[in-house]
């Protein structure tokens, strides 16, 4: 990919920015909370209409039932040569897979008080950064390549609806599709325009203690406080941190009991652990599973501890299959007049799954912005064309 074609894509997107923004508005206003199945189903229909409206009917398509989670939509298009002629894939492994999630953390009704709106260079709205932009960006990148006569390989879009809550339904489809593809791209938000080359792995732990209720004033000795027992355990959980290895532990919520004057009969804490290395994930999982209530609570038969551990995502670190691709991305960026610096971040994405399989994956190719999951979530209008051109350059560079 040379400077001229890349610049042409950026110019094309600038010229069509209003149409790009209208597509983005359509997706942002189609609310898709991760836990609202009816809205997810309706929202995925909207996503499909926008993407197919830009790229035409796919050559192959499958919609996988997500059960109580969002469905997974798998769309495929043939490659194109420089003359715009469709080039059928020699085999499925020629395709470049682009993974996007359409679910967001924002509850139904958010759009009524926070519609997509412009404030200077900011375009703000629920889910615009994480990651409705990445869906629109992908379709417009392919559209631009076609209309500019720049060849691209077969493209496969996988749209998942439960990334924000662990990718329970999405993960097997992501892993299967990645195994069948030459390269996986993930258009999650960028790191200030830079791709993300390292992500921490995640471990979730739900700690629940059941005790016995009693009146706090009349007969406290007849109770066994679940809150006291669980609170005594928290220091052991936090001690699993390792600054040396980049392992962090956060007790995100702690709640229990029914009233000030009641010995608590139940308590729960939800724990988030982030790790940089597989061996650290294994250590943390083993130690969480081995947790026991400390004395004197362990000796009280009225108190029971339940620990549910989910090693949700493995850490993502660039291996020999991905490192050369990152170097190519930096070169493509230079063709756009940019000096990109692949960046490590603490958050996880669906790219973690692909990396753990030892397959090539590039992540953080989406919007430039800030505030994912926060009320100041926004993208920069000035980043739309450069990021879409970068993605288009990567696609064009993948032509065999």
Among candidate residues 313, 333, 350, the one where a domain is terminated: 313
Q: Are residue 150 and residue 37 in the same domain, yes or no? A: yes
How much is the pLDDT for 90?
55
Q: Are residue 156 and residue 299 in the same domain, yes or no? A: no
Number of structural domains found in the chain: 2
Tell me the pTM.
0.92
Average pLDDT over residues 133-159: 97
What is the SS3 assignment for 264? coil
Angle, in degrees to the nearest 10, between helices 3-15 and 323-335:
70
Q: Are residue 23 and residue 138 in the same domain, yes or no? A: yes
Q: Is the pLDDT of residue 2 over 70?
A: no
Question: How many C-beta atoms lie closer than 10 Å to residue 253's C-beta?
Answer: 11
What is the SS3 assignment for 337? coil
Q: Which two tokens stand for residue 394?
A: 């990567």
Looking up residue 259, the CATH number of its domain turns out to be: 3.30.70.360
Cβ neighbourhood burial of 381 (10 Å; 0-12, 13-18, 19+): middle
Q: How confident is the model at residue 4 (pLDDT cuts 50, 70, 90)?
A: low
How much is the pLDDT for 6?
77
Looking up residue 164, the CATH number of its domain turns out to be: 3.40.630.10
211, 303 in Cβ contact below 8 A?
yes
The CA-CA-CA angle for residues 370, 186, 7, to 5°, reads: 80
Q: Are residue 11 and residue 152 in the same domain, yes or no? A: yes
The residue among 252, 387, 254, 255 whose CA lies nearest residue 332 is: 387
Q: Are residue 233 and residue 297 in the same domain, yes or no? A: yes
Question: CA 344 to CA 316: how far, in whole Å?
Answer: 9
Alpha helices in 32-88 (DSSP H): 37-55
Q: Are residue 148 and residue 284 in the same domain, yes or no? A: no
- Domain holding 32, by residue range, is 3-199+316-397
34-88 residue pLDDT tens:
999 999 999 999 999 999 999 999 999 999 999 999 999 999 999 988 777 877 6
How much is the pLDDT for 133?
98
In the block, which residue shows the tokens 């956060």? 250
Q: Which two tokens stand for residue 254?
A: 């702690």
283-340 residue pLDDT tens:
999 999 999 999 999 999 999 999 999 999 999 999 999 999 999 999 999 999 999 9
Q: Are residue 56 and residue 180 in the same domain, yes or no? A: yes
Q: Are residue 289 and residue 240 in the same domain, yes or no? A: yes
Q: Are residue 290 and residue 336 in the same domain, yes or no? A: no
Q: Are residue 369 and residue 383 in the same domain, yes or no? A: yes
Among candidate residues 262, 294, 313, the one where a domain is terminated: 313
How much is the pLDDT for 185?
98
Among candidate residues 313, 348, 382, the one where a domain is terminated: 313
Q: Are residue 20 and residue 168 in the same domain, yes or no? A: yes
DSSP label of 293: P
149, 83 in Cβ contact below 8 A?
yes
101-134 residue pLDDT tens:
999 999 999 999 999 999 999 999 999 999 999 9
Q: Are residue 282 and residue 391 in the same domain, yes or no? A: no
Query: In terms of DSSP bridges, do strands 183-186 and 361-362 run parallel, antiparallel, or are they unpaired?
Result: parallel
């Amino acid at each position: 990919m040379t400077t001229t074609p890349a610049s042409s894509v950026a110019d094309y997107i600038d010229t069509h920015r209003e149409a790009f923004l209208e597509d983005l508005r359509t997706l942002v206003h189609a609310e898709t909370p991760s836990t609202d199945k009816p809205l997810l189903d309706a929202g995925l229909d909207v996503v499909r209409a926008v993407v197919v409206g830009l790229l035409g009917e796919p050559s192959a398509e499958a919609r996988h039932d997500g059960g109580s989670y969002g469905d997974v939509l798998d769309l495929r298009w043939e490659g194109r040569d420089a003359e715009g002629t469709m080039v059928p894939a020699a085999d499925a492994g020629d395709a470049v897979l682009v993974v996007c999630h359409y679910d967001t953390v924002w509850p139904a009704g958010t759009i009524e008080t926070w519609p997509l709106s412009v404030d200077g260079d900011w375009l703000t709205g629920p889910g615009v950064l994480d990651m409705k932009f990445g869906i629109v960006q992908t379709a417009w990148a392919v559209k631009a390549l076609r209309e500019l006569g720049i060849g691209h390989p077969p493209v496969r879009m996988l749209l998942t609806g439960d990334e924000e809550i662990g990718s329970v339904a999405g993960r097997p489809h992501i892993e299967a599709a990645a195994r069948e593809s030459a390269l996986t791209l993930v258009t999650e938000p960028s790191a200030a325009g830079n791709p993300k080359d390292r992500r921490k792995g995640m471990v979730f732990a739900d700690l629940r203690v059941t005790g016995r209720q009693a009146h706090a004033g009349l007969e406290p000795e007849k109770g066994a406080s679940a809150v006291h027992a669980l609170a005594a355990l928290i220091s052991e959980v936090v001690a699993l941190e390792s600054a040396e290895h980049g392992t962090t532990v956060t007790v995100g919520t702690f709640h229990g009991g029914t009233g000030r004057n009641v010995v608590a009969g139940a308590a729960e804490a939800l724990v988030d652990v982030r790790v940089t290395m597989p061996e650290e994930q294994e250590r943390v999982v083993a130690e969480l599973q081995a947790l026991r209530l400390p004395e004197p609570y362990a000796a009280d038969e009225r108190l029971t501890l339940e620990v549910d551990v989910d090693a949700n995502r493995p850490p993502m670190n660039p291996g020999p299959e991905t490192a050369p691709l990152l170097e190519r991305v930096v070169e493509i960026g230079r063709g756009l007049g940019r000096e990109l610096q692949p960046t490590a971040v603490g958050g996880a994405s669906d790219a973690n799954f692909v990396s753990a399989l030892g397959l090539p994956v590039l992540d953080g190719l989406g919007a430039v912005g800030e505030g994912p999951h926060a009320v100041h979530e926004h993208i920069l209008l000035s980043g739309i064309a450069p990021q879409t051109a970068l993605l288009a350059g990567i696609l064009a560079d993948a032509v065999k």
